[in-house]
Amino acid sequence: MNYQAILEEIEREILPLFGEGKVADYIPALANVNPNQFSISLQMFDGTSFGVGEVNKKFSIQSISKVFTFTLALNYYGKELYKRVGHEPSGNPFNSLVQLEYENGIPRNPFINAGAIVTADSLVSIYKDNTFNQILEFIRTVANDDTINFDEEIFHSELEHGFRNYALINMIKSFGNIYNQIDDVIETYFKQCSIMMSPAQLARSVLFLANHGVNPLTNETILTESKAKRINSLMLTCGHYDASGDFAYKVGLPGKSGVGGGIVAIVPKKMAICVYSPRLNSQGNSLIGTKALELFTTKTGLSIF
Ligand code: GLN
């Protein structure tokens, strides 16, 4: 299949959509990006890659970081972790508080903010003051790139304006499902969201999920086949919050979005993809990114269904 030609075709076909959607501005530092960007990177198991747009330009990974922190936590705790965070879609917005109250502070899944905050807390219990460094090191390992870092301005912007996340963590703490100091946990969470990566780096860093837990580029085992399967199922059912059903319906791949405008997706046994375009739909997922992935699976027949 001529992937490069397909990507170029997609780039042409999404052009009329520019102008639709809105860049996230509830985090002021995110509002500064140029809204009219589009890039897509395809990473194959043999190291070959294809791409259009600025595939080496870094952006804020935001909620895509939840895949990496959940991988770390699931590796350490195994199914014990599910006592504190579930694995059901929430059907609610990514920052919603409502289910927590009648579900005893147990977030529905690790990919909504509440679940990612509990996941961050579970990591602070293991790594204490060194938690963020461990997360960053892990991401550098899976991406095989130790230049990856976080953005101070975006981190501070969320520290100052992340009121909903403070509400979430306080609510969860009131139910006894946050074990550490609120400040330590929320700082870890905001820092992981402010990590900067390019589409090429992100596509490489989720390749292990497309390959039963083993990074095909380095042969390193990141997690077991069974745990890789579970993370992929969670990406399929919960990776796009209250638009997860729509994403599965239209794209048909396990994927995870972030309000920075990135989406990672995997084609099992074949490749990993990252698309970036910062204008978001009403559920906080990249509008053009979702459309581009829909076109990709339509043109290639590579959905999992
Ligand atoms: N840092 C963002 C927040 O907490 C992450 C949300 C997202 O990417 N969906 O609101």
What pLDDT score was predicted for residue 289? 98
Tell me whether residue 177 is annotated as binding: no
For the chain, what percent of residues have pLDDT higher than 70?
100
Nearest residue to 62 via CA among 154, 148, 129, 152:
154
Q: Is 158 in the pocket of ligand 1 (CB under 6 A)?
A: yes
Structural contact between residues 57 and 278, judged by C-beta atoms closer than 8 angstroms: no
> What is the CATH code of the structural domain delimited by 3-62+197-300?
3.40.710.10
Look up 179 and say whether it is catalytic: no
| Beta strands in the chain, from DSSP E residues, in sequence order | 39-44, 49-52, 59-60, 149-150, 195-197, 255-257, 262-267, 271-276
Ligand 1 centre to CA of 64 (Å) is 9
Give the count of alpha carbons within 13 A of 94, CB side only.
24
Domain range annotation of the chain = 3-62+197-300, 63-195
Question: Quick check: 113 and 237 in contact, CB under 8 A?
Answer: no
Query: Is-same-fold flag (3-62+197-300; 63-195)?
Result: yes
Q: What's the sign of the alpha-carbon dihedral 284, 289, 291, 293?
A: negative
pLDDT (0 to 100) of residue 33? 94
* Interface predicted TM-score of the whole assembly (ipTM), two decimals: 0.96
pTM of the full structure? 0.98
Task: Quote the pLDDT of residue 69.
Answer: 98
Catalytic one among 241, 244, 275, 276? Answer: 241
Q: Which two tokens stand for residue 195?
A: 């990590």
Pick from 112, 193, 257 the residue to mutate for probing ligand 1's pocket: most ligand atoms within 8 Å of its CB: 193
CA-to-CA distance for 92 and 280, rounded, in angstroms? 17
CATH superfamily of 63-195: DD-peptidase/beta-lactamase superfamily (3.40.710.10)
- The candidate with the shortest Cα–Cα distance to 179, out of 187, 169, 189, is 169
- Residue 101: φ, ψ to 5°: -65, -45
The pLDDT value recorded for residue 169 is 98
- The separation between CA 288 and the C-alpha centre of its own chain, rounded to angstroms, equals 16
- Distance from residue 61's CA to the centre of ligand 1 (Å): 9
